[in-house]
Amino acid sequence: MDLFRGDKIHNIDTCPGTYRENGLRTKAFGSGCNPQNIELFGLIESIRKHIKPLEIKDFNYYDVTDFLSFSSKRQRAMYWCTDGNALILDKAEEYNETRYLFTSNLNDNLVTSIGHGIYLYRYKCNIGLIKPDKNDDILLSFFKYKSENELCPICENMYYNHRLILINSYEYLINSTKDAKYKGAIEFAKNDDEWLVLPFDSIGELRSSRIQRADFWFAEHFKVIGETRPDIDYLKRCYVDRHKNKHEI
């Protein structure tokens, strides 16, 4: 099963330009929000708030959502990557890109159904894929040294201990409710062929908010003609500042 996600470097909510060091981050990453928002709202409401927020409190959750949106259709992910097919992309060399297409090649043998439209995926990370977010020879040497001398505390670089919850949002919603309140979310989910991915590693009593660097997913790099690539350190500062303004829901 393949899933696709389009994103852009200017998105300071998910900061895809930091994927080399941090993997794929949800909006909840570093937000200081309640780590049990899903447990608080319930799964179906959390999904609706993510797919089709209706009220201010819904948008407040969407700003710190635990989920990352993917699509089972590459062309739909590219729609979001190109701001609704409004832009033409060229392939870009690494560290020159401004747009991303993240592709997950999920091993069907590692996918377990745990409910209508809900699946558990186990994987091992690959520390060797971690690289600096900017092209710097000293940092490259440092990360190479780390990858050769460190073990992941969760999977020890060999066990399938990392976990993701995969949600086929249309399948889940259509089988879970007939309430008219969810009609818009169901339509959006179907139109986008949307899958929601919930990082599910345990970190103490908390839940992880990122997908680790791993062999099953990779990034394709693109650039819009004339689009300026911002300094990655500047984006990181913007990310921190944005999260300072976020609040409990």
pLDDT in tens, 127-168: 999 999 988 888 888 888 877 788 999 999 999 999 999 999
- Structure-token match 């393949």, residue found: 2
Which tens digits make up the pLDDT trace of 20-77?
Answer: 999 999 999 877 788 889 999 999 999 999 999 999 999 999 999 999 999 999 999 9
168 inside domain: yes
Give the structural domain span for 42: 2-244
State the Cα–Cα distance between residues 228 and 96, nearest whole angstrom: 9
102 burial level (CB within 10 Å; 0-12, 13-18, 19+): buried
Number of domains comprising the chain? 1
User: Would you say residue 77 lies in a domain?
Assistant: yes
pTM for the model: 0.93
- Distance, in Å, from the CA atom of 197 to the CA atom of 72, rounded to the nearest integer, reads 12
Report pLDDT for 155.
94
Whole-number pLDDT of residue 106? 97
**Is residue 240 included in any domain, yes or no?**
yes
Does residue 249 form part of some domain?
no
What would the two tokens of residue 161 be?
């201990």
In a domain, 9, yes or no: yes
In a domain, 118, yes or no: yes
Q: How far apart are CA 45 and CA 24, in angstroms?
A: 23
pLDDT tens sequence across 211-239: 999 999 999 999 998 888 988 888 888 87
Instruction: Note whether residue 30 is domain-resident.
Output: yes
What's the pLDDT at 228? 87
pLDDT grade, residue 242 (50/70/90)? confident
Q: pLDDT band for position 100 (50/70/90)?
A: very high
